[in-house]
Amino acid sequence: MIPYGSHSIDAGDINAVVDVLENAFLTQGQQVPLFEKNLCDYTGARYAVAVNSGTSALHLACIAAGIGKGDRVWTSPNSFAASANCALYCGADVDFVDIDPRTRNMSVALLAEKLVSANANGTLPKAIVVVHFAGSSCDMEAIHRLTSCYGIIIIEDAAHGLGGKDKSGHPIGACKFSDMAVMSFHPVKSMTTAEGGAVLTNNESLANNVRLHASHGITKNSKDFSEQEQGNAWFYSQQSLGFNYRLSDLHAALGNSQIKRLDSFIAARRAKAEVYHQALASLPIELPERDANSAWHLYTIELTMHDRKKVFDELRDRGVGVNVHYIPIYHHVYYKNLGYSADDYPNCERYYNNTLTLPLYSELTADMQNSVIDILHEVLK
Ligand SMILES: *Cc1c(COP(=O)(O)O)cnc(C)c1O
C-alpha cells in the first residue's frame, strides 16, 4: 500500500540520534536549546519552545493565552480534533467557523459575520485557533484585521504549515499576524522528531509562560524565589500547575538534523503537487488551489461526479492508501454529545462528503506517483 504520507530518514538523521545516545544527556542537554534556535532561525519567530507533541504545544498556547472556564475559543471544523481539544482542556467552550469551500480554511467572510453577531450578543471568543489546512496559509492579515479591535488572541495551528509562507510571503511560524504559532513534528508532517511540537511567538511573556507550564510549572530561576530562599542552591519553585511536556534531546537531535533537509522536503512536495495538478486536470474532480506558498502537507481532491466511498474502497483495494482529511471535528461522538450540529457547517459537510487525500510526501517516487495517477484515472473512468 502506498501511504498518504510518510517521513524521510537518512544516515545523517540516524547518526545525529546515535551521537546523543553516546553522550551524557538524553534529555535537558544541548540539543533542545539548539533545536529551538534552529526553529527561530528558520521561521523568523523570536522565541520557540520545543515540546513533546503538537497537541501539548496547543494546550500550552491556550494556557499562555489565559484561556479558562467561561471563555470561548473558535476554530475550524476541518481539522484534527486537537485544534479544538486544547480549548476544552482549559475548560473553555469551543465553537466552529465554517470553511471557505475554495481554500478549505476557516472562511474569513463567515468569521467576519460571526464576530459581528457575537459582539452584539456579548459572546466574543477570547482566542481563535486558525489552521493552515494542507499547508496553505489562512489569510492571516485579514484575520488579524478582523479580530484585533476586539483583542482576540490568535493562535495558529501550523501543524501542516512549517516550510510554507503566508499570503504576504512571511514564513509560516513568523507570527507576523498572530500571537503564537504551533508546530507538530509527527512523522507525517513537514519534518519529524518522531513525536514533538513547538510553540513559536514574538512575545517574551507568552514564551516564558509556555516554558514554565511545559515543565511542571517549576522554575529554577532564583529571581522568582522568595527572599529567604535566595541563595539556597538546591531550591526550585513550583509557581503554577504545569505538565511534563518536555521534548527529549534524542528527539531534538533528530529535529536538528531534519530541519537542514526541510527546504528539500518542501521542494519535493511542491514538485509532486504540480505533477498531480497537470496529470489530474482532465478528470471530473476539483483540485486544491495552486498555492505556490503552500507547504503541501496534503493533496486533497473533491469528487464531483463519483461516490466517494466507492472510489475510496476501490483505490485502497488497488494499493493506493488514500485517506480523508478531515472528519469534521463536530462529527466525533464526543463533540456530538456537546451539542454541535452538522447543519451549522454546510461548506464543511459538502467538502467532507466528497474529499479524498492522495499520497504526497518527499519519498513518494515518480513510479509510485504515476501508478496513483493511472489507477485514479481508471477508477474514475
Ligand atoms: C498533527 C496535528 C496536530 C497534533 O499534532 P501531534 O504532534 O500529533 O500532537 C494538531 N493539529 C493539526 C492540524 C495536525 O495536523
Question: How far apart, in whole angstroms, are the C-alpha atoms of residue 299 and residue 308?
Answer: 16
Atom of ligand 1 nearest to the CA of 196: 7
Spacing, Cα 224 to ligand 1 middle (Å): 33
Where residue 228 falls among pLDDT bands split at 50, 70, 90?
confident
- Greater confidence (222 vs 292) lies with 292
Here the cell at position 374 is: 493511472
Which residues line ligand 1 at a C-beta cut-off of 6 Å?
53-55, 79-80, 82-83, 131, 157, 159-160, 184, 186, 197
User: What integer is the mean pLDDT of 164-181?
Assistant: 97
Nearest protein Cα to ligand 1, atom 10: 82
Give residue-wise pLDDT tens across range 34-71.
Answer: 999 999 999 999 999 999 999 999 999 999 999 999 99
Cell of 180: 503564537
- DSSP structure string for 298-345: -EEEEESSS-HHHHHHHHHHTTB--B-S---GGGSHHHHTTT--GGG-
The pTM for the full model equals 0.98
Q: What are phi and psi of 303, to 5 degrees?
A: -80, 135
Q: State pLDDT tens for residues 178-196.
A: 999 999 999 999 999 999 9
| Burial degree of 122 (CB within 10 A; 0-12, 13-18, 19+) | exposed
Q: Give yes or no for residue 231 having a pLDDT over 90.
A: no
Cα–Cα distance measured from residue 286 to residue 105, given in angstroms and rounded to the nearest whole number: 16
CA distance 300 to 289: 10
Q: How far is the CA of 80 from the centre of ligand 1 (A)?
A: 6
Please tell me the predicted confidence (pLDDT) of residue 368. 97
At residue 227 the predicted structure's pLDDT band, cuts being 50, 70 and 90, is confident
pLDDT in tens, 330-372: 999 999 999 999 999 999 999 999 999 999 999 999 999 999 9
> What's residue 222's pLDDT?
85
Domains in the chain, CATH or no CATH each: 11-261 (3.40.640.10), 262-379 (3.90.1150.10)
pLDDT exceeding 70 applies to what percent of the chain?
Answer: 100
Q: Which atom of ligand 1 is nearest to the CA of 53?
A: 7
Task: Determine the residue of 60, 157, 195 to mutate for testing ligand 1's pocket, defined as the one with the most ligand atoms within 8 A of the Cβ atom.
Answer: 157
Q: Which ligand 1 atom is the nearest neighbour of the CA of 82?
A: 10
Average pLDDT over residues 131-151: 98
Among the residue ranges 75-79, 104-108, 207-211, 224-228, the one predicted with the least confidence is 224-228
Task: Supply the residue whose CA is at minimum distance from atom 2 of ligand 1.
Answer: 159
Ligand 1 atom nearest to CA at 131: 13
Query: Closest Cα to residue 199, out of 212, 185, 210, 188?
Result: 210
pLDDT tens, position by position, 103-126: 999 999 999 999 999 999 999 999
CA terminus-to-terminus distance, the chain: 22
Q: Nearest 5°: CA angle at 216, between 228 and 22?
A: 105
Give the per-residue pLDDT at 230.
86
Chain segment 193-210, per-residue pLDDT in tens: 999 999 999 999 999 999
What ligand 1 atom has the least distance to the C-alpha of 56?
Answer: 9
User: Is the pLDDT assigned to residue 292 strictly greater than 90?
Assistant: yes
Distance 147 CA to ligand 1 centre (A): 24
Cα(62) to ligand 1 centroid in Å equals 15
Q: Which atom of ligand 1 sits closest to the CA of residue 184?
A: 7
Confidence label for 226 from pLDDT (cuts 50, 70 and 90): confident
Nearest to 105 by CA among 144, 137, 143, 142: 137
Number of helices (H) and strands (E) in the chain: give both, helices first: 13, 12
